Amino acid sequence: MNPFQAPAGTRDVLDPESARFAFVLERFSKRVRRAGYGLVISPMFEDLGVFNRSIGEDSEVVTKEMYEFDDKGGRRLALRPEGTASVVRAFVQHRPQIPWKAWYATPAFRYERPQAGRYRQHHQVGVEALGSDDPDLDVEVIALLDGYLRDLGLRSLDLRINSMGDLACRPGYESDLRAFLEVNVDGLCKEHRETWHRNPMRVLDCKRPPCIELRSRAPRLRESLCDDCARHFARVLEGLDALGIRYEQDDFLVRGFDYYTRTTFEVASGVLDAAQNAVGGGGRYDGLTELLGGPPTPGVGFGSGIERVLLAGEAEGLFGDLDSHVDVFVVDLTGGAQARDLTHLLRGAGLSTDRAFDDRSMKAQLRQADRSGATVALIVGRDEVERDVVTIKLLRGTQAHHQEQTPRLDLIGRVKELLS
RNA sequence: GUGGCCGUAGCUCAGUUGGUUAGAGCGCCAGGUCGUGGCCCUGGAGGUCGGGGGUUCAAGUCCCCUCGGUCACCCCA
């Protein structure tokens, strides 16, 4: 076996699959740019504090899953485990005009046990919109996620949405919830019997039967929202209705990062197993800029995992015909100089062209031409050189096998004609 | 982090109760007459059986460790 392979939980994405990867990326970037979002490219590692403070010291991601390291200058750094924190840090640092609408595509690193659809390096696309607390912006962001996924052809999608309240109403709710849990500790699952006090909201999100049973009797945040939050949430739902975006309100949707306020949402694919069905999620984070040392600035965004989207897409039978292929393949029987010059010429004229190397036999070159997916093969041997022509052979299509000779001067025009 | 299953050529896999130079299909390469692909025929290259240690006269086959994959839990994208 090779001495080196990709580290645990990481992988190489090679051609047929990388073509799907690129396709998804392109669809995404087109859509968000059309909505006025600009690309932000930020470092893949940050001061550890950027993530600690924003995601939350007690969160699973921060306590157990971050790739932390010291650089040679003694700085305490971490590889980005998700997309939002860096973008918001960049906002605070540069103070661009608001509303600032940004999109990103980035790897994200989490030290987790690898599993189907779960990697130590996965890739996310996402958007962040800072500087407005208008609920219509929440709607815009959700519509972008929903539209992006549906536009790819995904059909089986479930959008769940909830409001987490804000600093005015959540603390009160949390103490109500604590009080409730305190008298019902025995009803919790054994994990949460230990941890409910530190982060009571997580109990709502627990998938174990005891907690599920208990939470149905627990106080609802929905009923404790302050007027502002309630109005905001109502307007978001109204907007989704207006745009015909289907959703399910879920009182128990609690996302794993501490920075969320008010709107939170998650999209799950119905064709994936529950363990890996989240294809995107996000929400509002109105206090986050301050946590990172900036002025109070509301924000909302989402992240979506490319690997998950690809899994769902494959499960739904999308991306059938993305094989990359060239249109023209040059077969040179004179040693290679002809192929060298012709491919250069053809590519310069905008034709996707490939050739064989190493002066292989004609049979081998044609076999390669066939594999390349090319529609036409150009054959140049001694005869052609002497007569200053090129033999054009059609490899596929209704005219397959047809062969003709064309003067070199007319070559590009003739090839384009045959390809159209 | 915990637990189950798995690890043989580039890929998909066979390898009988441990016993001779480890096999197949696909793929790849070369030939099947001088310059014509996809089909067919023939031949060839390619594996320290994930790695290390142990048991044994003998291990791909048994045991231990380790690395990796996979699935579940957990968490999430």
Q: Are A25 and A126 within 8 A, CB to CB?
A: no
Omega cis (within 30) before A296: no
* Higher pLDDT pick, A212 / A228: A228
Tens of pLDDT, residue by residue over A2-55, are 677 888 889 888 888 888 999 999 999 999 999 999 999 999 999 999 999 988
**What are the extents of the domains in chain A?**
15-169+225-315, 328-419
A377 contacts: CB under 8 Å, gap ≥ 6: A328, A329, A330, A331, A366, A369, A392, A393, A395
User: How far apart, in whole angstroms, are the C-alpha atoms of residue A232 and residue A220?
Assistant: 17
A61 touches strand B (CB under 7 A): yes
What CATH fold (topology level) applies to the domain A15-169+225-315?
BirA Bifunctional Protein; domain 2 (3.30.930)
Give the CA A382 to C1' B33 distance in Å: 19
User: How far apart, in whole angstroms, are the C-alpha atoms of residue A110 and residue A82?
Assistant: 9
Tens of pLDDT, residue by residue over A303-344, are 999 999 999 998 888 887 676 789 999 999 999 999 999 999
Give the CA A115 to C1' B3 distance in Å: 14
How does the average pLDDT of chain A come out, rounded? 92
User: How far apart, in whole angstroms, are the C-alpha atoms of residue A63 and residue A31?
Assistant: 35
Q: How confident is the model at residue A1 (pLDDT cuts 50, 70, 90)?
A: low
A59 touches strand B (CB under 7 A): yes
Give the CA A224 to C1' B62 distance in Å: 64
C-alpha radius of gyration, chain A, whole number: 28
CATH number of A328-419: 3.40.50.800
A236 contacts: CB under 8 Å, gap ≥ 6: A135, A138, A139, A142, A161, A263
**Residue A347 predicted with pLDDT over 90:** yes
A208 touches strand B (CB under 7 A): yes
* Higher pLDDT pick, A79 / A200: A79
**Residue A190 predicted with pLDDT over 80:** no
Tell me what the mean pLDDT of segment A164-183 comes to. Answer: 91
**Residue A420 predicted with pLDDT over 90:** no
* ipTM (interface pTM): 0.85
**Residue A391 predicted with pLDDT over 90:** yes
Residue nearest to nucleotide B31 (CA to C1'): A363
Of the listed ranges A2-16, A124-138, A167-181, the least confidently predicted one is A2-16
Question: How much of chain A is helix, strand and coil, in % rounded to 5?
Answer: 40, 20, 35
User: How far apart, in whole angstroms, are the C-alpha atoms of residue A161 and residue A36?
Assistant: 24
- Residue with structure tokens 């001495």? A3
A387 touches strand B (CB under 7 A): no
Q: Report residues 346-365 of A contacting strand B, contact meaning Cβ closer than 7 Å.
A: 360-364
Write down the pLDDT at residue A399.
87
Write down the pLDDT at residue A222.
92
User: How far apart, in whole angstroms, are the C-alpha atoms of residue A145 and residue A227?
Assistant: 27
